[in-house]
Amino acid sequence: MRSFLALNAVNPGIVTSGVLTMSVSVPDGKYPNGTMWRRFYEPALDRIRSLPGVRETGVITLLPLTDWGWNGEFHIEGRPPDQPGHRPFAEYRTISPGYFRTMGIRILQGRDFDTRDSATSLAVVMINDALEKRYFAGENPIGRKIDPDGWKTIVGVVAGIRQAGLDRAPLPELYLPASQDANSISGMTFAISTSVDPSSVTRAVTSAIRSVDPLQPVFGVKTMDRVVRDSLSNQRVYMWLLGSFAALALMLASAGIYGVMSYLVTQRTQEFGVRMALGASAQDVLRMVLRQSLMLAAGGLAIGLTGALLVTRVLSDFLFGVQPSDPATLAVVSALLTAVALLAAFVPALRATKVDPMIALRYE
């Protein structure tokens, strides 16, 4: 549960509120000769931007917080060829101008893609700061050329985002302009930043896309808030499954401890009568019972904590921001079980001290 809360608190590096997303898959042969960007995506984006309530829009091949993607090696101009397995490696994303503004992704150096980056202009690329730190440490990457699939000039560096999931740090990424990457833009996702409820513009955005191509289907309509929630679906299942079993185990343990401790103290009612007949006060009896119960509970906790430290290692793959031997969790559970043990001893001991010593001596 603490891992899930920690994941929910992670900043994905993008704006999720007020952003609508929807995907298209355009048949490759529908717009021949590399005209898909000019004839479909560019006019569709222009019409979406003109809609009331829309602040900005853009497209990307793979929406953030997806656990899969395209990746590959690349070469940096001016450096000797690397050995296989040691070459620079990055995730590839194709985007349009306006995408970074839509998602609130900061440009740290250089510039964004714009209308200058056409199919006939200089081939360009943008990188994120994770790639810059790994492969250009201490160097200015702006103006440098890299070869992911043909030489391209780096024109900008953007802040890293958690593209592969909230539980994974930003990976090195290359961003290619959609206007220059005609071979990989048949399947794209529109991201629309709105000043109103995103769901309220769904029909208008869909109509704007179909006004460019009436036969183009639109699917996967979600807000970015929903995308974030869906990215945590596995962790949510683990939380409910393991949490339910853990709660049941805790209830059974508490019931068992209470039953055993209560029975043990009740069996000593005659002993309490003897002690009180010989001059012990009720407070003396209660202190003795609680002290002995606390010693038993401490022994049980020592054994239980040892087992927990050994067994909880199997949970490490399910945890985020929390160690399997998390002190806070173990302390809370230990305190709860100790309280149950003391309560189970206190109640029957208190009842016995209120009984007349002569009656307690005859107790069976």
pLDDT digits (tens, 9 = 90+) for 106-139: 999 999 999 899 988 999 999 999 999 999 988 9
Residue in the block written with tokens 């209120």:
354
Would you state the pLDDT for residue 242? Answer: 84
Over residues 8-30, the mean pLDDT reads 91
Q: Are residues 65 and 137 in the same domain?
A: yes
Q: Are residues 51 and 143 in the same domain?
A: yes
Would you state the pLDDT for residue 362? Answer: 67
Over residues 28-44, the mean pLDDT reads 90
In 3D, which of 111, 94, 93, 102 has the Cα closest to residue 21? 102
Under the banding of pLDDT at 50, 70 and 90, the label for residue 276 is confident
Q: Are residues 14 and 159 in the same domain?
A: yes
Q: Are residues 271 and 225 in the same domain?
A: no
Q: Are residues 106 and 135 in the same domain?
A: yes
Would you state the pLDDT for residue 80? Answer: 83
Count the residues in the chain: 364
Q: Are residues 198 and 268 in the same domain?
A: no
Residue in the block written with tokens 């220059």:
180
Q: Are residues 310 and 198 in the same domain?
A: no
Q: Are residues 199 and 313 in the same domain?
A: no
- Which is it for strands 75-76 and 107-110: parallel, antiparallel or unpaired? unpaired
Query: The pTM is what?
Result: 0.78
What is the average pLDDT score of the chain? 88
Contact 156, 8 (CB under 8 A): no
Of 231, 251, 275, the residue at which a domain comes to its end is: 231
Rounded CA-CA distance 260/258 in Å is: 6
- Burial grade of 283 (CB within 10 A; 0-12, 13-18, 19 or more): exposed
Domains held by the chain: number: 2
Over residues 19-40, the mean pLDDT reads 90
Of 206, 231, 256, the residue at which a domain comes to its end is: 231
Q: Are residues 175 and 52 in the same domain?
A: yes
pLDDT at 270 over 90: no
pLDDT in tens, 148-175: 888 999 999 999 999 888 888 899 999 9
Of 202, 231, 260, the residue at which a domain comes to its end is: 231
Poorest-pLDDT segment among 20-29, 63-72, 121-130: 63-72
Range of the domain at 268: 234-361
Would you state the pLDDT for residue 24? Answer: 95
pLDDT in tens, 189-221: 999 999 999 999 999 999 999 999 999 999 999
- The DSSP H or E segment spanning 91 is strand 89-95
Q: Are residues 278 and 133 in the same domain?
A: no
Would you state the pLDDT for residue 223? Answer: 95
- The DSSP H or E segment spanning 159 is none
Q: Are residues 204 and 246 in the same domain?
A: no
Under the banding of pLDDT at 50, 70 and 90, the label for residue 181 is confident
Under the banding of pLDDT at 50, 70 and 90, the label for residue 271 is confident
pLDDT at 360 over 70: no
Would you state the pLDDT for residue 48? Answer: 97
pLDDT at 364 over 70: no
Q: Are residues 247 and 220 in the same domain?
A: no
pLDDT at 363 over 60: no
The three-state DSSP-derived secondary structure of 206-269 is HHHHHHHCCCCCCEEEEEHHHHHHHHCHHHHHHHHHHHHHHHHHHHHHHHHHHHHHHHHHHCCH
